[in-house]
Amino acid sequence: MTQGFPIQDIEYKFIWDTRDQFPSIVARHLSVNYSHINGGFRGKKTIAELQAEMNQYETFREWRKAHLTIKEESPSTTEPTKITLPDLRKVKKKKIPA
C-alpha cells in the first residue's frame, strides 16, 4: 500500500501476470497506467514482496483464496434497507390574512 491507497484487484492480477519481470518495471507500469486508482505511485519494494508471495502458489485463484478473504454477510444484512425521503414538491399554502 502506498500513500494510503490499497492495491486493487486489477493491480493484483497484473502483478500475477508479470511476476517473472523485474519489480521496478512492474511498479513503473502500475504507476503510469493505473494512477487513477492508486494515487499515481506504486513502490518497487511493495511489488517485490507481492511477487515473492505469489511465486509460492500455482494459480492466481489459490493465492487469492489464501490471502484475500471475502466477508460473508449475514442474510438479515443483505436485504436492502428502505430509505424514506421527505416530499419536497411544492405545495400551495393558504395565505393567512393579517
pLDDT digits 0-9 by tens, 35-81: 777 777 888 888 898 889 888 888 888 888 887 766 665 555 566 77
Q: Is the pLDDT of residue 21 over 50?
A: yes
- Is the separation of the CB atoms in 52 and 35 below 8 Å? no
Residue 26 lies in a domain: yes
Q: How many domains does the chain have?
A: 1
Which structural domain range is residue 22 located in?
A: 9-70
- Kindly state whether residue 42 falls inside one of the protein's structural domains: yes
89, part of any domain: no
Give a yes or no: residue 62 inside a domain: yes
> How many Å apart are CA 26 and CA 32, to the nearest integer?
10
- Cα angle: 94, vertex 97, 98; to 5 degrees: 135
Say whether pTM exceeds 0.75. Answer: no
Domain-located, residue 81: no
Residue 88 counted as domain residue: no
